[in-house]
Amino acid sequence: MTAVMTQVRRPGLRHPLRRILSTVTAVGLLGTALIGAAPAAAAADVQSKQWYLNAMHAEEIWKTATGKGIKVAVIDTGVNPSTASLKGQVEKGRDLTGTEGEATDDYEGHGTTMAELIAGKGRGGLRGLAPDAKIIPFRVVDLELEERMGAAKVNTWSIRDAIRAAAESDADIINVSFGVDIPVSDDEEAVEYALKKGKLFFAAAGNNAKEGNKANYPASYPAAVSVAAMGPDGEVADYSQHGEFVDLAAPGDSIPSWCDTTFTRYCDGDGGTSAASALASASAALIWSAHPDWTANQVLRVMLESAGRGKDGDKKTLSEYYGYGVVRPGAHINRGIGKPGDPDIHPLTNKKSGPGAAEEQKQSPLPEDSASPSPKAPDGKPGAEAAVAGSEEKAGGGSLGIMLGGVAAAAALAGGVLFVVRRRRGA
């Protein structure tokens, strides 16, 4: 078998011959927030730019759920556990790069940012949406690392190995804030394995909508939850990749991140679909901590049913830009929107999913037409038959008309959209 290079690509590398996708939209650094001399002031400054916390009514959510008891595997460039915001939040992980180093050695800064967006305490830095969740880091190969070390010195199957390691870990949720533009069968099998182990898997939809808008992996694998990025205006970002593979949208625009590996300052800019995936994972952690007896399938089903679609939104209509809608953990936690449903049926594939599912399916295969209906299955049909809003949506992201826990965004989807059959799911 020939090894396929599937590394995380560093932000800003956009060589036309490289197939590794950027994990952060490099739209330029609009400014920085210094950490060190005045940590309290710096923390207040960077947190003031986390616009989505107010939009999602995070303080109200935290009265009921904070992510306590939930662990999130962050498969990325490593996670620095020594930042002020992450002290005490990071558990032992694994380094899958094949190089010298540990999972807690972040060689780019990206993984640490994702971890803080999920579970940061906000002491001197970013405040996580699920501040009492725990992080388990799994370090994988970045394109920069591979070029610096040489292909012969790194693990070319680090993504596959990390997903499988995360599936075997104590993590409840797996977050992958990067992607490649070709499918890799070993990686897809690893994602499916994670689901069989009862994990909930989120991945960034990709930031290259303006550069071909090719499907992004692992986000485009049927078992993965693909997350697009939206901004404060309520619209999906024009760089956010779109298509029938998109399942949800989450905040991604105008979110600060660590500038570099010195971890001394945050830079303004766009977190892109990387941040969106992390915040979707955090949203899942909030819901799961409120219902610790639920399965991954039930948590995801509630996320899909409670997603913001706008006043004219149709739950049977899927958007190529934001899927079911924008994540709204508060809609369920504070208002009870969304029902958990069947604990053993994955709401995107309508197939048995969870511990022991593989063995059970071998003994008694589940007929397609016997799967319980999911939000993605109008009129009781399999998920693959659901319609998806297509090319007539606004190219800049499709007007969402959503509400993040009560804060109105842009206007609702305009009428006259083109509908196409969604083929990805249930295949």
Tell the residue number behind the tokens 């485009």, with chain if given: 220
Kindly give the residue spans of alpha helices, DSSP state H, lying in 122-183: 143-149, 158-168
Beta-carbon contacts of residue 37 (< 8 Å; ≥ 6 apart): none
Using CA atoms, how far residue 406 sits from 128, 183, 361, in Å, is 20, 38, 42
Name the catalytic one among 22, 57, 76, 374: 76
Return the CA Rg of the chain: 20
Give me the torsion for CA of 140, 146, 150, 153, rounded to 10°.
Answer: 0
- Residue 1 exposed, middle or buried by CB count within 10 Å (0-12, 13-18, 19+): exposed
> Cis bond leading into 11, ω under 30°?
no
Burial degree of 17 (CB within 10 A; 0-12, 13-18, 19+) = exposed
Query: Which residue is listed with tokens 């005045």?
Result: 38
- Tell me how far CA of residue 366 lies from CA of 73, 353, 363, 379, in angstroms: 30, 11, 10, 19
Query: Given the DSSP bridges, would you call strands 173-176 and 71-76 parallel, antiparallel or unpaired?
Result: parallel
364 catalytic per annotation = no
By residue count, the chain amounts to 427
- Checking DSSP bridges between strand 225-230 and strand 407-408, what pairing results, if any? unpaired
Q: Is 274 a catalytic residue?
A: yes
Q: Which one of the listed residues 57, 110, 332, 346 is annotated catalytic?
A: 110
In the set 85, 240, 274, 283, the catalytic residue is: 274
Catalytic residue positions, numbered: 76, 110, 274
